[in-house]
A and B are shown apart, each in its own frame.
Chain A
Amino acid sequence: MIHEDMICPFCGCLCDDLVIETKGTEVVRVDNACTLGSHKLMNAGKHRLKGPIMRDSGQWRDASYEEAIEYAAGILLDADRPLLYGWSSTQGEAQGTGVSMAELLGGVIDSTTSVCHGPSILAIQEVGHPGCTLGQVKNRADLIVYWGCNPTEAHPRHMSRYTTYADGYFLENAFRDRKLILVDVRKTETASIADEFVQVKPGGDYAVLSALRAIVRGREDVVPPTVAGVTKEQLLRVAALCKEAKFGALFFGVGLTMSPGKYKNVRNAIELVDELNRHTKFTLTPLRGHYNVYGSNEVFTWMTGYPYAVDFSRQIAFYNPGETTAVDLMARKECDAALIVASDPGAHFPKKCLEHLASIPTVLIDPMHTMTTPLVKCQIPTAVTGMDAPGTAYRMDGVPIHVKKFLDLGYPTDTEIIGKIFEKVKEVRHP
């Protein structure tokens, strides 16, 4: 069976032009996807956990969904400070149910945002965000800047769908007419096609952004001969390219958000873009990783007022990244039960946090064995949104996409499982 215009549930690009061919429950062909998306989709039905598993005196054993759901509700109800973490690779509907459950439990809900673009949001909360949808960049931009990211490897179709290789309505020969600037600490594959590759010494992004701002404001006299390893000549060239562009688009990744300076780097980038808007049109977009991490920010925001790290322990929504973020709660050994949904902290969190996670009752909702599996007491497999479940996801630019289903493997969805846990919670803790 051929499924057209399918949506790839891998990264924040949410490419929606995939053609997937299935035979029964096997995927036999995927067209238009990148290597990452293809790999995920070609193996759609593989490596799935057959059913829930629970740990009994150190050994895994099979469990029923009912038993696992009962257990999950029990540990959350017993906890003083439950943490509901993850949410980036699941349907928006599950995220909403998660927020309601965290609210009733008086728990903390956080998404993987806090370990990727959390600093970007802190910067946006200080100075705003001049952005646009990706089609706006595709049709208009004659200058693309990638800063602290490597789209060739991490968002492989970003350049062909939205930037360098994409057709643009207002550009005669889009590929030739569009300039590309890459700013990074190392020479990646993307550098080979850049018109300017700006190699910044690690930790020097903030200084380079400040130098560019000074030049754009007409104060090149204050810029020294080199800034964080970048020559003044090159900075002048880059600033001139930015000012001369008719439409510039800056994309940035965790190379900017998680390097020294963190949210201050992003703030400086936003303020550079603000400044450039006094000369031309310029926009900025964070390259979001997980396909629906932005959706978690959207859902959390309309329900609670805050995009991540929301603490309901006082019955109000309280937000204080650094205190109410998952890593910090674990490092302080504060949370005493955790529900991990559609994410893999076992692969990304500091050891100290994982030691604490392993010491408390934790349930993982994830279709496959992951690096988090060895740390939890119970795992519940569910359908994968975009494969065997439909749902809502928000692209990195805020465009909401209905992610479609093309397989039926008989697994319940994340929304169904979390909904059932929530029902059990409500039996004990009445709204």
Chain B
Amino acid sequence: MSELLVKNAYVIDPINHIDGEVMDIAVKDGYIVEDVGPKATVLDAEGCLTLPGGVDSHTHVCGTKVNFGRYMSPEDMRAGREVRRGVKHATSGYSVPTTYANSYRYALMGYTTLLEGAMAPLEARHTHEEFSATPLQDMMANTLFDGNWAVMKAVAEGDIERVAAIVGWTLSAVKGFGIKLTNPGGTEAWGYGKDISCIKDEVPHFGVTPAEIIEAMIQACEMLRLPHSVHLHCNNLGTPGNYACTIGTFNLVPDLNKTRQSLYATHVQFHSYGGSDWKTFCSKAEPVAYTVNNLPQIVIDMGQVMFGKTTTMTADGPMEFNLYRLHHNKWSNHDVELETGSGIIPVLYRKKNLVNSIMWSIGLELALLVKDPWRCLLTTDNPNGAPFVKYPEIIALLMSKKYRDAEFATVNRRTESRVILPALEREMDWNEIAVMTRAGQAKALGITGIGKGHLGIGAEADIAVYPLKVGEIDPAQEYQKIIDGFSKTRWTVKRGRPVARDGEILVHGENTTIWVDPKISPEHDMSHDPEFTEMFNHWYSVRMSNYPVQDEYLKRNLRIETEATI
């Protein structure tokens, strides 16, 4: 039995409606309890800001394409190296750090739960191997279905129950968490070097449209009663004028779930572009945010761009090739049979560049224009918009108009006529930041029930104490203090154990992999479906029996069983 008491904590816990109350948090055996005995280890927070452990609902940290980003980029590895010391392994990498580096840097910022944004089912074993080497955060994997042949055939037949059965079987087989659609239909078209421009285009050979795939998957997700909604990377990412496609997609979404959104749209910054070409490129954050404000069934994340070097990586293979043709840097591509694709290129976002400056503005505009912080979460689509170590700067930008103006004065001068950022006066408060970085993320992922994103009795004792005295700092003026404070916790507590203190990693750690296992009736069990097994053994390059991820790949894990309606 281990007991811990975090004393004198200035707590903001939005899920439990606590907004700045000085209190003690008692922890026993990894969970938050009413009280502990006198022998409990005491951490004195001395009135510092104390939040539930951070949750990142969309990041790329583990798996085939992330590792390929490392593999192809020794220059990035050299940019982030630290020596081995104590329990801490040597680390490499700045924008695509090694698994240990990711884990340490997230822990130092107070993050304790991460959702890997894109796992190809065929290569799931790889993602789980890297999860095991990411010791200080609990991990989940969004599973890619954007170009899944079996799903597209079932959609073409209009058989939504079959879609759900296929998704359910696959999630159980690969130990995935939720449904990810990346440029639905587009990754399949990219198999022959083509792409999809928007939701009404037909996917070559399959006779379905992205709109049909998205609608079917939203229904299938609810049939399976998955904790998280469909998680969508819209078609047509990164092209001028794509905001119309984004709004069209949002308008497809029915409101099917009482407890959470029905669609999570990720990195919406990359999907809020106006203009008809790069010369007329401009922000359309306003109409996109307006649509989101009117559709409570949608939650988005920012996908904020920050200036500097990074590596872009996505399952959206065709988009990466287009980006490569703009940047002429180096390009990797990795299509995955019957399922999805992926691409990687390094990029440098520059303040002198007009397009990059507009992109930077759009992400901030979205966050400031979406009225409800529960529905616009703070991300960079790590590392696509920027490495996650930039989050503290984004927090400061959202809290301080003065900081935004100071930064705006340094970007490309022509940006002003293409964006509305300078006109936005909103400055976020501490509670809103807590929502956007943990509470809202946990709610959107549907994991508050398993004790994530809050500090109520029975919650997992994932706690972040920041060296910030809320009453003594004016975030609007002292933005550097905000950046410094959110960069390095005083303590990060994971499952009741202090894992980081003042920038030092204290333990090796052991994470939990959270996965979903929908319970489906025998008549919908795809493992005995003749057409499904035939497709598997004929067109995949691995046998169906060798496809599921064995239990031994998950060390410590939490299986969420859902009662599917099929």
- Find residues 313-328 in chain A having any chain B CB closer than 8 Å to their own CB: 314-317, 319
* Cβ–Cβ < 8 Å partners of A169 in chain B: 539
Contacts of A424 in B (CB 8 A): none
Asked if B93 contacts A305 (CB within 8 A), the reply is: yes
* CB-defined contacts of A280 to chain B, threshold 8 Å: 193
* Nearest neighbor of A140 in chain B, beta-carbon distance: B191
Please measure, in the bound complex, the distance between the C-alpha atom of A69 and the C-alpha atom of B452, giving whole angstroms: 45
**Stretch of A220-228, A254-262, A357-365, A395-403 on the interface side:** A395-403
Query: Do B192 and A246 touch (CB < 8 A)?
Result: yes
User: Which B residues lie within 8 Å of A315 (CB)?
Assistant: 83-85, 90
Smallest Cβ-Cβ distance to B508: which chain A residue: A431
Q: Give B158-194 interface residues, CB cut-off 8 Å to A.
A: 190-193
Is the CB–CB distance between B71 and A130 below 8 Å?
Answer: no
A7 interfacial contact with B, CB 8 Å: yes
Choose from B77, B324, B337 the contact partner of A133 (Cβ within 8 Å). B337
A92 CB to closest chain B CB (Å) equals 7
Q: Find out whether the CB atom of A124 lies under 8 angstroms from the CB atom of B336.
A: no
Task: Tell me which residues across on chain B come within 8 A of A124, comparing CB atoms.
Answer: 71-72, 332
Which listed residue, A127, A130, A303, A431, touches B333 by the CB 8 Å rule? Answer: A130
CA distance A130 to B332 in the complex (A): 5
B89 touches A307 (CB 8 A): no
- Bound form: Cα–Cα A431–B86 in Å: 5
B541 touches A133 (CB 8 A): yes
**A303 near B100 (CB under 8 angstroms)?**
yes
Query: Which residues in window 1-31 of A have CB below 8 A to B?
Result: 4-5, 7, 16-17
Q: Is the CB of A139 within 8 A of B84?
A: no
Stretch at the interface among B242-250, B474-482, B542-550: B542-550
Given A312-B90, A315-B90, A431-B86: A129 in contact with B332 (beta carbons within 8 A)? yes
B382 at the interface (CB under 8 A from A): no
Asked if B92 and A304 sit within 8 Å, CB to CB, the answer is yes
What total of chain B residues lie within 8 Å of the partner, measured CB to CB? 62
Given A133-B541, A402-B550, residue A128 in contact with residue B331 (CB < 8 A) = yes
Task: List residues of chain A with CB within 8 A of the CB of B152.
Answer: none
From 86 to 113 in chain A, residues with beta carbon under 8 angstroms from any chain B beta carbon are 92, 96, 100, 103-104
Within 8 A of A (CB), among B59-84: 62, 64, 67-68, 70-74, 77, 80-84
Closest-CB distance, A393 to chain B (whole angstroms): 10
Q: Kindly provide the distance from the CB of A405 to the nearest chain B CB, expressed in whole angstroms.
A: 12
Q: Are B71 and A17 in contact (CB-based, < 8 A)?
A: no
Other-chain contact of A281, B72, B90, B192 (Cβ < 8 Å): B192
Which residues of B in the span 204-224 have a Cβ within 8 Å of any Cβ on A? Answer: 205
- Of B62, B99, B126, most buried by chain A (CB within 10 Å of CB) is B126
Contact A134 B191 (CB under 8 A): no
Q: How far is the CB of B239 from chain A (nearest CB, A)?
A: 18
Nearest B residue to A106 via CB reads B84
Q: Please provide the chain A residues from 285 to 328 with a CB less than 8 Å away from any CB of chain B in the complex.
A: 297-299, 301-307, 312, 314-317, 319
Assembly CA distance A281 to B71 (angstroms): 23
In the bound complex, how far is the Cα of B62 from the Cα of A170, in angstroms? 32
* Chain A residues with CB under 8 A of B80: 305
Task: Identify which of residues 268-289 in chain A touch chain B, using a CB-to-CB cut-off of 8 Å.
Answer: 274, 277-278, 280-281, 283
Q: Which residues of chain B are within 8 angstroms of A92 by Cβ–Cβ distance?
A: 129
What interface size band does chain A fall in? Answer: 35 or more
Query: Which of A100, A304, A392 is B98 in contact with, Cβ under 8 Å?
Result: A304
Whether B432 is near chain A, meaning CB under 8 Å from some CB there, is: no
Number of A-B contacts defined by CB within 8 Å: 183
**With A132-B335, A133-B334, A402-B125 given, is the CB distance from A302 to B541 under 8 Å?**
no
B321 at the interface (CB under 8 A from A): yes
B92 cross-chain contacts in A, Cβ below 8 A: 304-306, 316-317
Complex contact A5–B338 (CB within 8 A)? no
Shortest Cβ distance from B52 into chain A, in angstroms?
Answer: 28
A124 to B345: give the CA distance in the assembly, Å.
12
Once the chains bind, are B77 and A306 in contact (CB under 8 Å)? yes
Docked-complex contact B539 and A139, CB < 8 angstroms: yes
Contact in complex: A133, B546 (CB < 8 Å): no
With beta carbons under 8 angstroms apart, the residue of B89, B123, B330, B546 that contacts A16 is: B546
From B84, B99, B193, A312 is in contact (CB under 8 Å) with B84
| B-side contacts of A317, CB under 8 Å | 77, 81, 90-92, 98
Q: Which of B128-146 contact A (CB under 8 A)?
A: 129-130, 133
Instruction: Tell whether, in the assembled complex, residue B193 and residue A133 are in contact, meaning their CB atoms are under 8 Å apart.
Output: no
How far is A129 from B541 in the complex, measured between Cα atoms in Å? 21
Check B546–A127 contact: CB distance below 8 A. no
Judged by a CB distance under 8 angstroms, whether A48 is at the interface is: no
Residues of B contacting A301 with CB < 8 Å?
67, 70-71, 98
A126 CB-CB contact with B under 8 Å: yes
Q: Quick check: A161 and B541 within 8 Å, CB to CB?
A: yes
**B1 touches A (CB below 8 Å):** no
A92, B130: Cα distance in complex, Å? 12
| Majority-rule SS of A interface residues | mixed
Q: List residues of chain B with CB within 8 A of the CB of A4.
A: 545
Chain B residues with Cβ under 8 A from A103's Cβ? 84, 89-90
Residues in B neighbouring A412, C-beta threshold 8 A: none
- Please state if B543 and A17 are interface contacts (CB–CB under 8 Å): yes
Give bound CA distance, A200 to B122, whole Å. 38
- Establish whether residues B550 and A125, one from each chain, have CB atoms under 8 Å apart when the complex forms: no
Q: Is B371 an interface residue (CB 8 A)?
A: no
CB-CB nearest in chain B for A13: B541
User: Does B344 touch A at the CB level, under 8 Å?
Assistant: yes
A:122-157 near B, CB below 8 Å: 124-136, 138-140
Asked whether any CB of chain B lies closer than 8 Å to the CB of A84, the reply is no
Nearest B residue to A4 via CB reads B545
A121 B71 Cβ-Cβ under 8 A? yes
CB-defined contacts of B545 to chain A, threshold 8 Å: 4-5
Q: C-beta contact mask, B4-36 vs A, less than 8 Å → 1, else 0?
A: 000000000000000000000000000000000
CA distance A317 to B77 in the complex (A): 9
* Residues of chain B from 304 to 355 with CB closer than 8 A to chain A in the complex: 321, 324-325, 330-338, 344-345
Contacting residue for A316 out of B81, B191, B334, B543, CB 8 A: B81
A167 at the interface (CB under 8 A from B): yes
Q: How many whole Å from B223's CB to the nearest CB in chain A?
A: 28
For B62, the closest partner residue in chain A by CB is A302
User: B430 at the A/B interface (Cβ < 8 Å)?
Assistant: no
Looking at B67, B93, B334, B335, which has the most chain A CB atoms within 10 Å of its CB? B335
Residues of A within 8 A of B331 (CB): 127-128, 130, 274
Q: Does the CB pair B68–A305 fall under 8 Å?
A: no
- A126 and B99 CA atoms in complex are apart in Å by 23
CA distance A303 to B71 in the complex (A): 11
Closest A residue by C-beta to B538: A167
Identify the closest chain A residue to B77 (Cβ). Answer: A305
Give the residues in chain A near B81, CB-CB below 8 Å.
305, 316-317
From residue A324, how far is it (CB to closest CB) to chain B in Å? Answer: 12
Q: Is A252 an interface residue, CB under 8 A from the partner?
A: no
Does A247 reach chain B (CB closer than 8 Å)? Answer: yes
Contacts of B193 in A (CB 8 A): 247, 277, 280-281
Beta-carbon nearest neighbor of B86 in chain A: A431
Q: A298-B126, A401-B542, A402-B550 are in contact. Are A136 and B191 (CB under 8 A)?
A: yes
Can you identify 26 A-B contacts, CB atoms within 8 angstroms?
A7-B546, A17-B543, A129-B332, A131-B332, A131-B334, A133-B122, A133-B541, A134-B337, A138-B337, A138-B541, A139-B337, A277-B321, A301-B67, A302-B62, A303-B100, A304-B90, A305-B93, A305-B97, A315-B90, A316-B82, A317-B90, A317-B91, A317-B92, A399-B122, A401-B542, A401-B546
Instruction: List the interface of chain B (C-beta within 8 A of A).
Output: 62, 64, 67-68, 70-74, 77, 80-87, 89-93, 97-100, 122-123, 125-126, 129-130, 133, 190-193, 205, 321, 324-325, 330-338, 344-345, 538-543, 545-546, 550
Which 3 A-B residue pairings sit nearest by Cβ, starting from the closest? A305-B92, A135-B337, A305-B77
Q: Give 10 new A-B contacts, CB below 8 A, not counting A304-B98, A319-B74.
A: A133-B335, A135-B539, A136-B191, A138-B337, A138-B539, A277-B321, A301-B70, A317-B90, A392-B129, A400-B125
